[in-house]
Chain A
């Protein structure tokens, strides 16, 4: 009794609220059960890795890099060498100490040809990592990168225990041992994956004792589960689902502007989309404002012109893209489709509004003589069976900084180059932007790339989303930040009340 009183008093004094409750989060089963606990796996189990592992730096409330396992960082004047000073006294879940050796291992394995991680295209900029001392790591780049900390802020660039992973750079590490606020207890991506609080987490114990990641593939089923109290939290509510929770005292609704988008992808290597005139014609048929209102509600979006850099990013280009049916018809005629064009579009309930977006574009494109036949695919397994397999398909991306998204989705060698974009000139611009130390000049290069994507790219990105999430009013501590920046360790769940 004395011990528990002392423990309670200590926690109160430390200003940390903890509870013995279980936080229950849904996971979308996007890889049909073949999810991997390795953060750089192409089938990464995002909800688990977010809580099991930590990054060197993470996104601060202002959107810029803030300390996580690295306390500070600095670059040489040419921005080719970046030195990270690490946090002292951090341990992995198995008790091993976190050191610069783990940083070197975790960063270099992202370049593995065998693993073929989606992060590979971005992280190939690293030449090598030097262990200066146990608490200092120096990252030497192949080329200048003025914004390198933004790259290691990626939600998948987590720090792994080199020893537990056998120092094997070319194999997935499924140990699930990290330094994050929760440690893995039971791994079951098809059912319920269970995590428990890691008491030695460097920032103090998490607010809840346990976390359950419950596989629910269908968004409507997730909504029903939250209403029934089977889960505590749900991401990405649609405009129609939001009222279900907005006026209910048992739930809290948060709306956050983000760089997230749901879009449609035309593979630039596959006919008829290998003709840039066809791609642009389809994009020109869209009334983006009407589309956004129909799919996400009048307050749920900010229009975009098919470039992935969101309005909150410092490198966002200012492009105008009004609907132009006559222009689209002229481009189609030039491309040899004067009598109209029929294409198949594969969609699924993978992200909020994906099917509706396809239906709206289908309706808008028919004015230019474009017939879009929708083919609905099952949502479970969509990312493995349809995405990047078909010529025209739906996609969804979370918020990323300009450099990262442009490298990850449009560099010709990138694993997630979903449009099959293959331009040496564009690759050179990507390198040039990274090497440009002058901000205005760098911004100009990023702007040119975004204009190129609008003119000839294969992405249809009509809007960026305000993400809307709902959670039980028993939860507190969820900050209004984008999904990847939510700190679940700060979430407290009260055991009673509404």
Chain B
């Protein structure tokens, strides 16, 4: 808490990244703002001096070569790692010292690069676990089967089916999550994250392992989720077709540092990005 970096923060250095917030969100405060965010693992600066702002209803992309620190950024945002330096503002509130659970309640939900569903629970129960943090907690009414319990249970059941219907998965509600096909498991992870009622959804490689038609469907769904829930989405993805088509702002990481920020067209034309992905052009 007493690090010198906190003192710096009081100066409120202007963040250059505002330029990538889509126009409709510019007049509103960004949902997420990272200022000089960084983390060290031993001597390695896994992420350093990350400045990022995401608009209220923006779909933003975080790309970069393998090992660039993209998932580390997600882990920082969800407080799986506590940052070594810098500030994360969620809806204008400093998240310093918050726990993972508190962050989830404050409005960040995520999916995982390698699927981490509760595979022995039913599809519906997976979604209901996501719904938990919005319900008033009462074990007693659950055990005693009080009328209020049945009412809540019915509401949760309906809400779960409604969320599953985004991906046309309501028929799978009673199946074991672990027995679903791969693509459906990825979609269920998104539904489970949405169930926690986030204002910012973090998707870690949502299209990994999907075929082109599944990816196309996923792209439609990501846009649909943004439009329906009016939330911001930050995604990590290697599928450039997906990123370039649906992301309004793109941030490129390499070796833990932001090397470029901008729209799809700007990123594609950026020499630093091309170099990071393809290597240096031979001189002459």
Chains A and B are bound partners: no
Residues of B with Cβ closer than 8 Å to A? Answer: none
